[in-house]
Structure 1
């Protein structure tokens, strides 16, 4: 009786080893899944199944013999793995990904201790990662260089990442991540970790990462494209929102009237920078230091009420274009050219300060 029990235990261990070994051998791979042929032969005399694996008709592994119970358990495992693979393949096709990248059975890892502390964990990544590996080799047929220095080379590595991750940890914590290293704007890459408390908690909401600050009134405008920490607290009927962040955006308004863009600029004279801002005439250059000698009072004798700015033809347009000729001495009190004579005792720039304007209007034809 003892011997038969021992033999039965050994048979169970052997059958379990056969099934597990065949499951490992049956796991598909990128290179062998399409060429390995599996043949199953049933022997009615012994009531057993013989499973053989062949490539191009040649046996590549010893045959595995199973009883009906072992074969049934083996088929349950294989069919379940195939069902999971088909579902994942369908999901990849719907999302537009390559279904051929799916290899092997889908596995799920669970940590009961971690789930008891944080609750249910649901993290769903998506996207793609492209790696380009190569090499560059250059040869210089220069007799002045040593033979070893005539051949130079190095690796060429490039990586493109487009990743989206959404997750939920427990009932209160949510996370989202969006990253693309080929985006043209930095604000397209977003990362946000959000905690939502209960209605009776003091800490109602906590956000870390990309956030925004909205106000319920239009008198005080909020801010967008912030990166930092935002906390919303409540004390009875009092609600408090605190933000400590860095603003990564600028607000600008553009007005279009009658098909033309109108935009107001305000440039203070004390914001002058060398080789960046330019004086309109020698009068402003000569009186610049004196006009700003008693700041904040500006001692200026002239006020510019209207100014026309002409933009060059950047798009090589040929229709509705106008040619512009600019004269450096136009309106100058002390002309630079000796051919232009000053007229009168003008103290500020004017078209009648010299004879250039009158000569142009007389010879307009």
Structure 2
């Protein structure tokens, strides 16, 4: 009985356990993943399975690789919290080297692929959309519904380098044998094409290498719809188109322009600055006729100079009775030197310009003039004798000592002398008048450049000289350096109106902005602008002796007729080399201060100085 009961109990327990186990198996089969996640069988270093759907190892899992010198194997151990997570993996040296090489190869090609992808990747330029009814009403809707579209493009080129030149010429000072400087250049070509809606456009172009300014465009262009009052609004580079002749069409304007419509009435207005100029030329007999206009303060600076105070004091007298020149001076020889800014190596040397050289009345109190001298010469004062003691062996000839020695004589830099490394101009780089005594430089000098001359002239058959010529002061063969050349200073590095050399710069020469002027058809008038705006050929008020005379006549520009007889005819006296330099295109007034002291003396001081 007991045995049977125990037997049935065991059978029931086994059946119940089997039933529960079957239900558990069914539950596991229902809850398991369709694609189960399998743990890797080996270490993460040598395991080759790279299924992208597998979960990555947690950061708590640490991998350590050690080398066992006894077994000559690499041991790979994985731990979590300091405890071993998996069984260690053992690799021989060859296996470990093969795995390392494979990983290095994969990493190399992956980096190459990423670099190429970065270079070929297009810059993302998402188009902006604005969802606003007011925006749509003002600017409209652009293409494909996009409201703001900006397309910038262009390039910037930067060139940097150093350019130097070495000249192995023993006749040049050591400092002059090497010259150079940094060469830096940057070119930019940029453009932006922006659209805001379908009404507003912003075309912008900028190029530093553009041949003309109008090629660089900066513009705001707004176009209204057919049913709007505001038809267009432009800002920046605009143009004015006109169908009438009262207001002609104009290009290259910078400003504002708008067009409005009120029914059938169109209103167009513009407020702009005109960047272009309209010029007209008339061809007569194959030659072009051009009109020009100059103001009294438009004289050329730093280009025309008198060679000394003597020539300044006698200028008006010599030019008074043209074409007869009241001067017995005849310059036979001249050299012109300017600061060497071009890096020239021939006809270049150290020079010293002396302001009082050749002056009978020196401005420096340290010098003594010749009371009996009247004409410019090196012996007009004691300066040249002091600096040329010993002739070519004078210590003043040494470039390194001349500045200190001149200061020891009581002379001041800039005020009394200038030392510079200069080059000699060729004959086609300047013009000089041998009787009046002025020199005209083709290229305008910079404010900090020095100008000096040496000239030789005759007066009543006697020869005089101011300054030194380069061939007379040769190389110092003993020391292998160039001796300093002494010149007459005409322009210093500082333009001070209280210095005597300020008066040597001519302020009565005006440029016509063209060359090759012909006598035929040339006309010149000097006009007075009244406060009311009118122009007159004469002064409204003047001395009785010149009342009613034209300004051309008062300023001694109308003394001759077309046959050069002393009879005014109301036309400019075309006297080549004196009142006009036709090849250079310069007008030269026969008085030094035509709109200053000389005009006062001629027009208001009873005509004193007026030619007979």
* TM-score normalised by length of structure 1: 0.47
Larger radius of gyration: 2
